[in-house]
Chains A and B, each alone.
Chain A
Amino acid sequence: MGVEKIYRVWFGEVYAENGKFKARRSDNLIESFKECLKNKEKIPFSLIKAGTEIFGSEEMYYKNLRKVAISTAYEKVEENLKRDDRYLIMLLKAVDEIDQSINLFEEKIRDIEEIKITKTTVEFREAVKNLKKLRKSIQDEINDLAAKIMPNVTEILGGVLSARLLEKAGSLKRLSSLPASTIQILGAEKSLFKAVSRIKKGKPAKTPKHGLIFQHPFIRTLPKSRRGKMARFMAAKLAIAARIDYYSGELNESLLEAIKRKYEELR
């Protein structure tokens, strides 16, 4: 008979031998803790029973487990917070570049196919298709990640638009320190500075009402005369949302509710 199957658990391995489960303790609990996160199935035996054998008592079992879980969690939190916003920005840039490439390639392949369809053109088509697939999975990750690192901003703007806002600001820390008036016109810098320089020269000029956030349906679908009001209101709520996201990270539904109410009012 011999060893039938090995199960990874946080304190090492448990293997089934002749119908019985036997536990083996790992030399490095932190390593085996991380390793068992790769598990893909249910454990068919009692963890606490196997673990008590290893550690001598339930009390020691929990004591060790707690120690390992806490130190792993601290490490993970630090890792997570440090890099996530930069990673998100890079993903967003990648998606934009992939978009350009897809357009370029599609145009090219169409031109070629008009002349002749060969094995190579079929392969070319396949490559573009795969690129589109990649684009979709990056986009999904952007949405997931945005909701994770800035739940409140994402609740209002959705994943991609939030990521764009983050890109403009540079980091979540910077976004959380921006005043609402800046958030309102993020992405409209060009027209803002144009207006400012005109004003300096004493010429008539209008400062922009909205930048990136114009893409939000609540602003885009309003009549022109009321977009400014809505943009101002939304930017104010976004400034609060960004601060909650940076300092606490818990979702607060009242922000989106207020924006919805304002939209109904203005519509």
Chain B
Amino acid sequence: MVEMSEISEISETQGIKIIRKIIHNAFVIAKGDKELLATKSRYSTHYGERKYGELREWIPYRSKFAAVLLKGYSIEIPPDCKMLYLGAASGTTVSHVADIVDQGIIYAVEYSAKPFSKFLELATERENIIPLLEDASKPWRYSGIVEEVDFIYQDISQKEQIGIFKLNSEYFLKKGGEGLIMVKARSIDSTTEPQEIYESVLDEIASSFEIKAYGSLEPYHRDHIFIHTVK
């Protein structure tokens, strides 16, 4: 739902026009004849994106979540959402999600130290991010840290990613909680046709979750699909 008051609060500078609101603090904006996605943020840029006034451009080629939204699929995420984010990497997507859940909390898990050192800069700046340098396939390790969450976002391009998602949902996702999974066909099996992989992945998820929607991320990311689930 578009709340006009919220939109008019944002200064329309630099030839930017807000077209519509997608989620809390996330908007489709027009710059010249181009349509862009952006989140409202009081923080500065993180990964070289542009900033128009209070709006930070959200680049779909860099962030799969942005690609999902720009493909026209909208997901309800309340501003006070508690989220477990698996595969934070250097924080490109997390920075925007942190804009969206500005009254919530994000538990961000990443296993690799290199991108994490960049991510830590973001986590230090934002008050709603709790960084965990942990292996997402071992959720018991952070069971004494992460509380029950409303939402699990997963983007970890690993062979076992569906198993890892299920395990984390068992540990942390509350009943009725939602999940958004980015599936990369190539990392599950590089020899099988993506279409076949998607079918088996969807079957595997359907055995324990309700699937709300799924779809490809073309043309932004090749051989990827997103899956939106409910526990």
Q: Are B144 and A77 in contact (CB under 8 A)?
A: no
How far is it, in angstroms, between the C-alpha of A80 and the C-alpha of B144 when the chains are bound?
A: 22
Q: Besides A70-B120, A148-B111, 4 other CB < 8 A contacts?
A: A8-B144, A37-B142, A42-B170, A249-B115
Q: Which residues of A contact B89 (CB under 8 A)?
A: 250
Q: Which residues of B contact A153 (CB under 8 A)?
A: none
A66 part of interface (Cβ distance < 8 Å): yes
Instruction: Given A10-B145, A41-B140, A47-B147, decide whether A253 and B186 contact each other with a Cβ distance below 8 A.
Output: yes
How far is it, in angstroms, between the C-alpha of A62 and the C-alpha of B80 when the chains are bound?
A: 13
How far is it, in angstroms, between the C-alpha of A37 and the C-alpha of B112 when the chains are bound?
A: 17
Give the contacting residue for A70; candidates B115, B118, B123, B148; CB below 8 A: B123
Q: Which residues of B contact A98 (CB under 8 A)?
A: none
- Chain B residue nearest to A148 (CB atoms) is B112
Interface residue ranges of A232-256 to B (CB < 8 Å): 245, 248-251, 253
Q: Are A73 and B140 in contact (CB under 8 A)?
A: no
B127 part of interface (Cβ distance < 8 Å): yes
B227 part of interface (Cβ distance < 8 Å): no
Q: Are B120 and A77 in contact (CB under 8 A)?
A: yes
A240 to chain B, nearest CB (A): 16
Chain A contributes a number of interface residues (CB within 8 A of B) equal to: 38
Q: Which residues of B contact A127 (CB under 8 A)?
A: none
Q: Are B116 and A10 in contact (CB under 8 A)?
A: no
- Chain B residue nearest to A75 (CB atoms) is B133
Chain B contributes a number of interface residues (CB within 8 A of A) equal to: 34
Q: Which residues of B contact A148 (CB under 8 A)?
A: 111-113
A134 part of interface (Cβ distance < 8 Å): no
Q: Are B143 and A41 in contact (CB under 8 A)?
A: yes
Give the contacting residue for A248; candidates B113, B114, B146, B157; CB below 8 A: B114
Give the contacting residue for A250; candidates B90, B113, B144; CB below 8 A: B90
Give the contacting residue for B131; candidates A39, A48, A69; CB below 8 A: A69
- Chain B residue nearest to A69 (CB atoms) is B130
A55 to chain B, nearest CB (A): 13
Q: Are B142 and A151 in contact (CB under 8 A)?
A: no
Q: What are 25 pairs between A and B in contact, CB < 8 Å?
A: A10-B145, A37-B134, A37-B144, A38-B141, A39-B143, A41-B140, A42-B140, A42-B170, A43-B144, A46-B147, A62-B105, A66-B130, A69-B132, A69-B145, A70-B123, A70-B124, A73-B132, A76-B133, A77-B116, A77-B117, A81-B117, A248-B118, A249-B113, A250-B114, A251-B157
Q: Which residues of A contact B143 (CB under 8 A)?
A: 36, 39, 41-43
A33 part of interface (Cβ distance < 8 Å): yes
A149 part of interface (Cβ distance < 8 Å): yes
How far is it, in angstroms, between the C-alpha of A253 and the C-alpha of B186 when the chains are bound?
A: 9
Q: Are A74 and B120 in contact (CB under 8 A)?
A: yes
B209 part of interface (Cβ distance < 8 Å): no
Task: Give 1 or 0 for each of B129-164: 1 = CB within 8 Å of chain A CB.
Answer: 111111000001111111110000000010000000
